[in-house]
Amino acid sequence: MTKKGIFKLVAFVAALLHLTPATAQSETVVTLAGNAYITAGRSGSIDEGRNAIRNWNEKETVVSFYFYAKKSGKIDVALQAKGHSRIEVSLLGKNKKVTLDSDELTRIELGTFKVKQPGYVKMDIRGLKINEGKTFGSVAAVYVSEKVACVSPDFSTHFGRRGPSVHLGYVLPKEKIEWFYNEITVPEEGDIPSSYYMACGFGEGYFGMQNNSPHKRRVLFSVWSPFVTDNPKEIPDSLRVKLVKKGKNVTINDFGNEGSGGQSYMHYDWKAGERCRFLMGVRPDGKGSTIYTAYFYDNHQSKWVLVASWCRPKTSTWYTNAHSFLENFNPVMGFINRKAYYGNQWARTTDGRWIPVTKARFTCDTTGHQEMRLDYTGGVNGEQFFLSMGGFFDQNMKHGTYFDRTGNTTEAPNIDFSTLE
């Protein structure tokens, strides 16, 4: 974590300790910063650092809190809020109107509610009338009388709000592997902005496609430098990932934050419901470095196109750690479900033989592993693997579960490598 991030976390926790009164031992404090979203309307935003709602001034705006009730039964719920307004709280089939009349955060009891079964609970808050000032005020937390699962104050609000990333780790043949082939199909309901549908991960990077915004989509290929840093400017020239070649209309950048290295991407309008094909190659150059090359099948032109080829120094390896993942990279969008299907995986050995890859291990990141969020799953759907995360659904898959796909294991990818750029 950067110094700026540490200061921000310390300030947030200090503010929470100052503003939150002592609570019963079994009570859970569900903070705004880690567990709430603006789910409707145009006004208002969640200030994670200050644990506050900013510019909340329209009746159409809905602030939604989420927490996971581990058992059925009655719960007592309260708000920590401030402002001079009239608001409405909707929770578990009940609507309750509340008057805010304080410049300081105040605890407001909402009453007793019945949880019918374990699972996620959503609480919506709407503004009805501003009595004084220009906004409805702010809500800092929800108090629940039982232990519930939510993003805790000492966990990263950034990653908690993004939701749990989910992964498939493929079991490769024991032979030396040079190429890995994979297909992704994103269903209409899983095609959400700020999503990365990663197809061909390897030990030193990843290759897949993104929905960046309603009008922008990318095919993205990145390779980490062997020099460990979050700032690409710190990488010595001898340890930089160097571009070997790139495809037409491909942008080349350095990248940082979660490791650093070389990044290549092209804008491509892939479609939901359409099968997207990826081919990723890894081979040592015999001089102490390794060459990584990514190809994407252009469905518009009906041909394989080069994304890029990178050379990573101080590395000598064939393809290892084949994996896929699905993630949301925008904390504001963490309340929306994402889903993708991954199918027809094949590995090509160094002597040119295609071998089907039919087994994968499901895992989730720390957000899911520590039960900050429980809306993650994966498995097999028909002849394909699938991953799903976000949206606060109730069922989840156990971390570390293995799955076997059926489907095609006899017809290898028909790729003429001599024609590839």
**Per-residue model confidence as pLDDT tens digits over 321-346:** 999 999 999 999 999 999 999 999 99
Q: Which residues lie closer than 8 Å to 287 by C-beta, 6 or more apart?
A: none
Copy the structure tokens of residue 53: 């709602």
380 neighbors 404 (Cβ within 8 angstroms): yes
Domain assignment present for 310? yes
127 shares a domain with 172: no
303 shares a domain with 200: yes
Domain assignment present for 19? no
Q: Please state the pTM of the whole predicted model.
A: 0.91
Domain assignment present for 113? yes
169 shares a domain with 98: no
User: What pLDDT shows up at residue 231?
Assistant: 86
Residue-number span of the structural domain to which 73 is assigned: 28-151
User: What pLDDT shows up at residue 256?
Assistant: 79
267 shares a domain with 133: no
190 shares a domain with 114: no
For each of the chain's 421 residues, which pLDDT tens digit applies? Answer: 444 444 444 444 444 444 444 445 689 999 999 999 999 998 899 999 999 999 999 999 999 999 999 999 999 999 999 999 999 999 999 999 999 999 999 999 999 999 999 999 999 999 999 999 999 999 999 999 999 999 999 999 999 999 999 999 999 999 999 999 999 999 999 999 999 999 999 999 999 999 999 899 999 999 999 999 888 888 999 999 999 999 999 999 988 777 888 999 999 999 999 999 999 999 999 999 999 999 999 999 999 999 999 999 999 999 999 999 999 999 999 999 999 999 999 999 999 999 999 999 999 999 999 999 999 999 999 899 999 999 999 989 999 999 999 988 999 999 999 999 8
Q: Based on the number of CB atoms within 10 Å of its own CB, is 73 exposed (0-12), middle (13-18) or buried (19 or more)?
A: exposed
Domain assignment present for 11? no
348 shares a domain with 292: yes
Domain assignment present for 10? no
- CB atoms under 10 Å from CB of 49, counted, come to 14
User: What pLDDT shows up at residue 207?
Assistant: 98
408 shares a domain with 337: yes
The backbone torsions φ and ψ at residue 162, rounded to the nearest 5 degrees and listed phi first, read -65, -35
Alpha-carbon span 385 to 376, nearest angstrom: 14
User: What pLDDT shows up at residue 281?
Assistant: 98
User: What pLDDT shows up at residue 18?
Assistant: 44
Domain assignment present for 192? yes
Domain assignment present for 9? no
183 shares a domain with 263: yes
318 shares a domain with 178: yes
182 shares a domain with 60: no
Domain assignment present for 8? no
Of 132, 151, 170, which residue is a domain's last? 151
Of 74, 62, 124, 55, nearest to 96 by C-alpha is 124
167 shares a domain with 145: no
For residue 266, the domain's CATH number is: 2.60.120
Alpha-carbon distances, residue 315 vs 159, 185, 195, 224, 259 (angstroms): 31, 33, 30, 11, 16
Of 101, 128, 151, which residue is a domain's last? 151
355 shares a domain with 294: yes
Let me know the angle formed at the C-alpha of 226 by 223 and 229, rounded to the nearest 5 degrees.
Answer: 90
User: What pLDDT shows up at residue 80?
Assistant: 97
Count up the domains in the chain and report the number. 2
Of 151, 182, 216, which residue is a domain's last? 151
For residue 146, the domain's CATH number is: 2.60.120.260
